[in-house]
Structure 1
Amino acid sequence: MTVVSVGGDYDVVIERGCSHRVADLVGDGVQRALVVHPASMRSLGEKVTASLRDNGIDAYAVGVPDAEDAKTAAIAADLWAFLGRHGFTRTDVVVGVGGGTVTDLAGFVAATWLRGVPVIQVPTTLLGMVDAAVGGKTGINTAEGKNLVGSFHPPRAVLCDLDVLATLPRADYVAGMAEIIKAGFIVDPVILDLVEADPEGATRPDSPHTLELIERAIQVKADVVSEDLKESSLREILNYGHTFGHAIEQVERYQRRHGEAVAIGMVYAAELACAAGVLARDVVARHRDVLTSVGLPTTYEAGRWADLETAMRRDKKTRGSLLRFVVLEDIARPVRLEGPTPEQLHTAYNAVSV
């Protein structure tokens, strides 16, 4: 078992077969638990629910749609209604069992019910383990953009059961690698070295380096959010590749995997930094090489700039009409680029367009 502490406030447990341990972490005084899971994770959601019941807790499993379809105001309202009908109080708990969309949703429902009840996250995807479930960001989507409605609500604990990763489709596992590689570019270049040494192994949950890659990525996020819970400064670096990536997701109506969009977004950010004279060309090339080596996309279709720009101007980092990007000066040297010129924006887009 590996434990990563997030600022001493809560722990992320990384272990094989740890999903059943939720009951050990709910805390004192809990009488009721709502276990939120996607349709595809019904079996695991019910197992977690059963383990809570075995420990004397009135636990209820509630299924929600898969992927981004779960992150809507309508689904959140259904869950609030369930909590109300079953008399959930501030000493009760919400448990999110699923990928990043479910942990975002469960966290948001917990944050807003009675102005905040505890939440325990049990991420079941690589993306959820290394990113969405850690850090306390919660939220839902609207027609205007991704995660525009949300709150900061740190979990009571996070359980990363590595055995669950063996059930993931390969494409989903590979998409999760984008967030691990992002952590390598912004803070921990050892991650890049490990991926480059064995790209094929990096895409398998049974690789000898799987635990180290996951642990390093979680440690990066834990260290950053410990310093800046509410994204006032340092935490913005975790959004590397996300401004352009979120724009892709919105333009494609959330049909594109998040990790795939972020991979393209990182290459766009690297090209933008290069166009602005901030980043060397060889580091841009390393972005493409590392991402391509694990099967992630690095290009996007031409002719979509107007829609993408509109979407980026709704990004949370935008201030007024000023677009702001996280870019690199070098590996592990992230900075903010504020107000890039239209020429720089277009140069970067042309460089990733096909």
Structure 2
Amino acid sequence: MEGVKTLTVELGERSYPIWIGQGLLSSVARYLQEIGISHNQTLLVVTDEHVGSLYLAPVVQSLQEAGFRVFSYTVPAGEQAKSLACYEKIMTYALEHKLDRQSVIVALGGGVVGDLAGFVASTFMRGIPFIQLPTTLLAHDSSVGGKVAINHPLGKNMIGAFHQPLAVIYDTATLATLPAREVASGFAEVLKHGFIWDETFVQWLQDNAEACRRLQEPFLAEALYRACQVKSQVVSQDEKENGLRAILNFGHTFGHAFEALGHYQRLTHGEAVAIGMVLAAHVSEVVYQQRGLAERVTRVLSTYGLSGEWHTLPWSFEEVLQKMYSDKKVIAGRLRLVLLERMGKAVLTDHVDVEILRAVWSLPFQSQV
């Protein structure tokens, strides 16, 4: 289709397409038919209050006009929707409206909606198909790869599954309504894909930062395509995070600790991960003797309006460390970190001495502004 970028997550019989382009929501029915969704399959569109007010009515209308039987459920906007309470309410709604094993869940929204709706799909009648319609920059990451989950009061994403979508249909026109802070937050994950896998992508993002931050085409679609390409390559090689896929958590062990300590309100996910990536880059410098690595990571993040400053956070190193040890990525009591052997080459290790982390925490921050 003209003007639409397409790539495939290669998982054998469960391979699926990612479509990226402007105005795709108006053609959702056509894409569903292309992947074999028939009119006798009931659709349940899950969205949140913010996204729903913008896009739910036209999406439902277009699907109904194409002959689909469609229901919808709207959850509150924000991380609080990834809860057992919201999960149970959607399950009840699906049962009350007679969804069956052939029904399809459609996740219309950002990462929270995608994770929640995907987890519903993974467990309803032991698993039904679902489709991702991401509407945020951050969701370029969460919508690809099949990780679906809800939160527990004691930890983020602690209740979840691996459940791949049938397709990811990414309408970049929906990103125009995002506030600047959310745009910056989303680019943290875009940059992460470059840091861990492709130094030339990092340079491209640095060279085209102004156009990307303005969501200017064709730069926006190219950035998302290349980031999704990295994610799909990693997932194709290691679907269930037995090894390689863990590198996608670069910056996240620190970042998830910051999010949890801030009760998911002080920092956006991207802001927390950006700080985590700077700290992880400093640790990488110590472990792999890569001088200048943290300075470059910090500089590139700053071009997207992201600060890696951790000294202004209100928590002590001991508080952060304790929260890091409660992360699900801790195995047998050993803290696992993703580090950079060099720019574009990430590795997973559980051999970093805590005293190195403590020393990095005490370093002065070098602002790039």
TM-score tier (shorter):
over 0.9
SS across alignment from 1:19? helix
Which residues of structure 1 form unaligned runs of 5+? none
Aligned residues: 352
Q: Distance in 1 between matches of 2:289 and 2:298?
A: 14
Q: 1:178 to 1:279 in 2, by over 3 A?
A: farther
SS across alignment from 2:17? strand
SS across alignment from 1:5? strand
Q: 1:247 to 1:49 in 2, by over 3 A?
A: same
Q: Which moved more, 1:315-324 or 1:211-220?
A: 315-324
Which residues of structure 2 form unaligned runs of 5+? none
Kept in 2, the 8 Å contact 1:145–1:311? The answer is no
Q: Which moved more, 1:343-352 or 1:316-325?
A: 343-352
Q: Distance in 1 between matches of 2:27 and 2:43?
A: 14
- By how many angstroms is 1:102 displaced? 0.6
SS across alignment from 1:154? coil
Per-residue CA deviation, residues 98-121 of structure 1 (Å, 9 max, x unaligned), is 111110111000001011111011
- By how many angstroms is 1:257 displaced? 0.7
Structure-1 residue corresponding to 2:122: 111
Structure-2 residue corresponding to 1:102: 113
2:26 to 11, 20, 35: 20
Could you state the TM-score of these two structures normalised by the residue count of structure 2?
A: 0.92
- Cα RMSD of the aligned pairs, angstroms, is 1.6
Structure-2 residue corresponding to 1:152: 162
Structure-2 residue corresponding to 1:184: 194
SS across alignment from 1:351? coil
- By how many angstroms is 1:96 displaced? 0.5
Q: Distance in 2 between matches of 1:311 and 1:29?
A: 48
Q: Percent identity, aligned pairs only? A: 39
Q: Distance in 2 between matches of 1:282 and 1:342?
A: 22
- By how many angstroms is 1:258 displaced? 0.5
Once the two structures are superposed, the pairs formed by residues 333-344 of structure 1 within 5 Å of their partners are 333-344=345-356
**Is 1:218 aligned with 2:221?**
no
Amino acid at match of 1:94: I
- By how many angstroms is 1:348 displaced? 2.0
Kept in 1, the 8 Å contact 2:198–2:345? The answer is no
- By how many angstroms is 1:302 displaced? 5.7
Could you state the TM-score of these two structures normalised by the residue count of structure 1?
A: 0.95
Kept in 2, the 8 Å contact 1:15–1:162? The answer is yes
- By how many angstroms is 1:80 displaced? 0.3
Q: Distance in 1 between matches of 2:218 and 2:18?
A: 20
**Is 1:240 aligned with 2:246?**
no
Q: Distance in 2 between matches of 1:352 and 1:288?
A: 13
Q: Which moved more, 1:144-153 or 1:184-193?
A: 184-193
**Is 1:316 aligned with 2:328?**
yes
- By how many angstroms is 1:194 displaced? 1.6
Q: Distance in 1 between matches of 2:55 and 2:364?
A: 40
Kept in 1, the 8 Å contact 2:39–2:67? The answer is no
Per-residue CA deviation, residues 291-322 of structure 1 (Å, 9 max, x unaligned), is 11211020122642222112211222211211
Q: Distance in 2 between matches of 1:10 and 1:105?
A: 20
Structure-2 residue corresponding to 1:229: 239
Runs of 4+ with >4 A deviation:
none
- By how many angstroms is 1:54 displaced? 1.5
